[in-house]
Amino acid sequence: MKNSPENLALKQTLEQCQTHAQGLRDALDDMGARLIPAVLRALGEDVAAMPALDRFSRMEQLGLLASADDWNTLRQIRNQFAHDYPDSAHEQSERLQAAISAAGQLRSALALIIAKLQQRFGK
């Protein structure tokens, strides 16, 4: 790739998108590894020996996640970003589109958790 202004702009844009993707991975890790267990513990659940998939299922049973399966799909998207680095622009584009969709789902999941906790514990 030549160092033309267009190619340099493309390189910078890709780097920014990779930074955003890292932010998405971090957000999913924080929600899955920290927020969900904290919510369950606050509700009196024993999560010490509970596998992640069981935590997601319990959150769904409690009405705090719309779908445990959808949450697991988000984890898979996160894992693809964390462990797979596609070379083709087409594959990178597909991953970014999945990340955009995942970001919306993360916002919706967080909004549901907040709303349900406010109902349960008050503001």
**Gap between the Cα atoms of 25 and 16, Å rounded:** 14
What domain range includes position 105? Answer: 5-121
**Gap between the Cα atoms of 96 and 65, Å rounded:** 24
Asked if 109 and 27 count as a contact pair (C-beta separation under 8 A), the reply is: no
DSSP label at 104?
H
How far, in Å, are 1, 55, 81, 109, 115 from residue 40 at the CA level?
Answer: 50, 8, 27, 15, 15
pLDDT digits (tens, 9 = 90+) for 68-105: 998 888 888 777 766 666 677 777 778 778 877 888 88
Question: Looking at the 3D structure of the chain, how many domains does it have?
Answer: 1
The owner of tokens 């992640």 is: 52
pLDDT digits (tens, 9 = 90+) for 8-30: 887 888 788 778 777 777 777 88
